[in-house]
Amino acid sequence: MTARDPGRRHTLRSPGGCFAVAVDESGARIASVVETTTGTEFLLQLDGRDSEEPESPPAAESNRRWHERYAGGWHPLLPHAGDDRVVDGVAHPFHGEAAWRRWRTVGLDDASCTLELALGTVPLLLRRRVEATDAGVVVRQQVENFAPRDVAITWTEHPAFAEVLAAADASLTVGDTPVDVCFPAPGRSHGGFRSVPAGASGVARLRSGGWDAVLEWDPVMFPQLHVWQEHRATAGFPWWGRTSTIALEPASRPYDLTDETLGPIVVPALGVVTAEFSLTLARTGS
């Protein structure tokens, strides 16, 4: 395989055939979530871009390289998220090593796949199971520490949604609280990034275009929700005035927080940390 090959892709189908879900070995990216009756795609698709490289680039070059190759979808960001940084003498690329590397398939059936990756920047083994359900998608991930010392990490999930979930009629709530975000009318632009508390429930609801999308996660492990919006606001690189998306990102820490550790989640020596995320999709009122 060449450096530009996105690697093998698995196409999963929910038991009742309601949803088709595509998962790339490269970055363990969920590349597509489609409701099969209408053909509606719910994840951001950036045509003409390659998926992530099989190996992460030098950390100092990684921000631009990420944005050159970013093709949308849903990525796990581990053991770091945000700009490249050096911790304990180890350089971590933009958005973390896991999203750059090619994972290994260790389990596969019609509705699910399980991918595995041993990180090089920290002594962790990641195992991620993606399942297509008749309600949407469920992700279960395990982080195993194979070293005899604790390892601290940052963990962020990064699903970026298609414009069908970011139309001018869209609304966003976290728990029972409306979030004040702007969804511009066609032909207008808007961009922004903010973080909001996950609250007690860890539930974000996005309503738009006749669809109801509900993202659920553990609010104790992921107490922040980063909300990134790009609606034709950036005329130049990397969005070229064409991209319209909203990303809802359960996160273990504020985006711009840095200290002497890599992050707030502690994976105990020879121990395991697990988390689950679900995306439920339904027509409004159904």
DSSP line for 27-58: TT-EEEEEETTTTEE-B-B-TT-----SS---
Give the whole-angstrom CA distance, residue 221 versus residue 219: 6
| Residue, of 187 and 53, whose pLDDT is higher | 187
Rg from Cα positions in the chain:
18
**What is residue 83's predicted lDDT score, i.e. its pLDDT?**
92
Q: For the segment 191-222, what is each residue's pLDDT rounded down to a tens digit?
A: 999 999 999 999 999 999 899 999 999 999 99
Inform me whether the pLDDT recorded for 72 exceeds 80: yes
CATH number 3.40.50.720 is the correct assignment for the domain at 9-283? no
Are the beta carbons of 217 and 279 closer than 8 angstroms? Answer: no
Q: How confident is the model at residue 7 (pLDDT cuts 50, 70, 90)?
A: low
Tens digits of per-residue pLDDT, 103-130?
999 999 999 999 999 999 999 999 999 9
pLDDT band at 36 (very low <50, low <70, confident <90, very high): very high
pLDDT tens-place string over residues 137-191:
999 999 999 999 999 999 999 999 999 999 999 999 999 999 989 998 888 999 9
User: Model pTM?
Assistant: 0.93
- Distance, CA of 49 to CA of 53 (rounded, Å): 12
Q: Name the phi and psi angles at 130, rounded to 5.
A: -115, 130
Is residue 265 within 8 A of residue 251, CB to CB? The reply is: no
pLDDT of residue 59: 82
Q: What is the pLDDT of residue 50?
A: 62
CA distances from 170 to 149, 192, 203, 204, 213 (A): 46, 15, 17, 13, 11
Domain ranges in the chain? 9-283
- Whether the pLDDT of residue 231 is over 80: the answer is yes
Instruction: Tell me how far CA of residue 158 lies from CA of 102, 109, 249, in angstroms.
Output: 17, 25, 5
| Burial class of residue 55 (count of CB atoms within 10 Å of its CB; 0-12, 13-18, 19+) | exposed
**% of the chain exceeding 90 in pLDDT:** 83
Q: Is the pLDDT of residue 97 over 60?
A: yes
